[in-house]
Structure 1
């Protein structure tokens, strides 16, 4: 089924010592734009997580959030201060302060020392197989939930798009009764202009010229192509997935036929109908930006 690019998915997994929460949000985008916030203890799995999410979602601006909460006295990754090295750095900096006459307080000096090489020593926390499995399951479930959301949104979008295609065709049908009126209006205007000139005219030649002139305003081909494009839109909309771009191309072709009809209209009533068709088409194009 067709999916929207907008969606949200969430999942939780629990181990003896931790609660893992995964949230994924997605919006429309021309390609995959994945932003991930993952705790440092799971950093070594980031590439694998990104791969899983990217393959499952295909396209969209995706925000991935992984959070972890200790619930059973689990050790948290952190760091310790190398006290001996800190004291050595600090003593040297205090001595330089006195020599240079620097009157800055001790607090910024301590902050400076903490940033010096090897003062902070990071501890690594070993992650067991059970926790890695829980993390992977949480990611998979969040992705599945997001895809379910996308499917629901996609069904609503397609329903709306098809209604608008129906509206365009209904409006196109309203042009037909106006065509005869338009042709008669053009013929009458030409005749009136000739009478105003008060010149002799070859009636046979005049009729030929009128036919040639009116052929320029004939929209039969545009109506036929418009119907074909609308029918093809419905066919593609019935395909399984990945139809957003294809439907966008078909919408462009529909717009081309509507624009040509408008340029040939030469009738106020037809122009009003064309404007309404364009309005429906613009709404279709906006909605298509959300389809995967």
Structure 2
């Protein structure tokens, strides 16, 4: 299925006396750009976690956060103090006091807050790596499902615009003879207003040249072809965002050419309507994987 690049997923799991939580947010991006935030104890697994992301996603800016907390209600563990570091601080304090007897001493809270004094609690993170990876897989599966649901809505939106483009093509094609006849009439009236003799054959040649300049059959045909190709791409279920971007450029080029060839207010209005529809599609296609 077509996937949007904008989605959110969250998964939780209790492991032993701890809880693991993955939160993943994704937005549109030209390439796949995963960014992982996690506790230091899990840093060694960052590349493996990124590989799991690459297996599930192909485009988008991915912001994944792993939270690791002690189970609610768990008793606080004892504080491990590095006695050697405390002695270093006290020795330094004694040296300062020898130079400046009036200097205030270190309080207990200041000593405990000094970097390296309190040892981090030892934790066997390796036993949690497998659970964290499995939980990430679950979160990614939820994320993909959310991207597919949003993708289905985008497909419906774009197909509606394709139908409207084809309706406008029919209206422009129906006015083609009217536009050519009006141009013919304007040219004849202009020549007659000059009160000059003219060669009927030369006049027909000039009218034929003008009709060719006003001919938008190729532009209309290409608009229909691009709309059909757009529908086909939306049904493939592949990551087609870049190809859709290219099609938007082609559709916009044909709409611009149609407007430049227009010598009719109604056709000009239809050309502007086409540009609005194409821009609406382009904005939505920016979110397609």
Contact 2:26/2:63, CA 8 A, preserved across alignment: yes
Q: Alignment partner of 1:22: what SS?
A: strand
- The 4+ residue runs of structure 1 with deviation greater than 6 A are 72-79, 100-105
Q: Which residue of 1 aligns with 2:164?
A: 167
Per-residue deviation, residues 163-190 of structure 1 (Å, max 9, x unmatched): 1011011011111222222112211211
Compared CA separation, residues 78 and 7, structure 1 to 2 (3 A): farther
Segments of 5+ residues of structure 1 without an aligned counterpart are none
Counterpart CA distance in 2 for 1:251 and 1:14 is: 47
Per-residue deviation, residues 137-165 of structure 1 (Å, max 9, x unmatched): 21110000000001111111011101101
Q: Which residue of 2 aligns with 1:227?
A: 224
Counterpart CA distance in 1 for 2:177 and 2:101 is: 98
Q: Alignment partner of 2:35: what SS?
A: strand
Q: Which residue of 2 aligns with 1:125?
A: 123
Shift of 1:264: 0.5
Q: Alignment partner of 2:2: what SS?
A: coil
Counterpart CA distance in 1 for 2:78 and 2:120 is: 6
- 1:61-100 equivalence runs, <5 A: 61-71=61-71, 80-93=80-93, 95-96=95-96, 99=99
Compared CA separation, residues 226 and 92, structure 1 to 2 (3 A): same
Counterpart CA distance in 1 for 2:151 and 2:162 is: 16
Counterpart CA distance in 2 for 1:102 and 1:165 is: 83
Counterpart CA distance in 1 for 2:75 and 2:55 is: 33
Q: Alignment partner of 2:197: what SS?
A: coil
Q: Alignment partner of 2:65: what SS?
A: strand
Shift of 1:276: 0.7
Per-residue deviation, residues 242-263 of structure 1 (Å, max 9, x unmatched): 0111111112111111111111
> Does residue 281 in structure 1 map to residue 278 in structure 2?
yes
Q: Alignment partner of 1:147: what SS?
A: helix
Per-residue deviation, residues 67-96 of structure 1 (Å, max 9, x unmatched): 122228889999844233333334425644
Compared CA separation, residues 91 and 162, structure 1 to 2 (3 A): same
Q: Alignment partner of 2:287: what SS?
A: coil
Give the count of matched residue pairs: 288
Shift of 1:46: 2.0
Counterpart CA distance in 1 for 2:32 and 2:278 is: 26
Contact 2:93/2:106, CA 8 A, preserved across alignment: no
Compared CA separation, residues 74 and 56, structure 1 to 2 (3 A): farther
Q: Which residue of 1 aligns with 2:235?
A: 238
- 1:1-292 equivalence runs, <5 A: 1-71=1-71, 80-93=80-93, 95-96=95-96, 99=99, 106=106, 110=110, 114-115=114-115, 119=117, 121-127=119-125, 129=127, 131-292=128-289
Counterpart CA distance in 2 for 1:149 and 1:33 is: 19
Compared CA separation, residues 32 and 183, structure 1 to 2 (3 A): same
Compared CA separation, residues 99 and 148, structure 1 to 2 (3 A): same
Segments of 5+ residues of structure 2 without an aligned counterpart are none
Contact 2:8/2:25, CA 8 A, preserved across alignment: yes
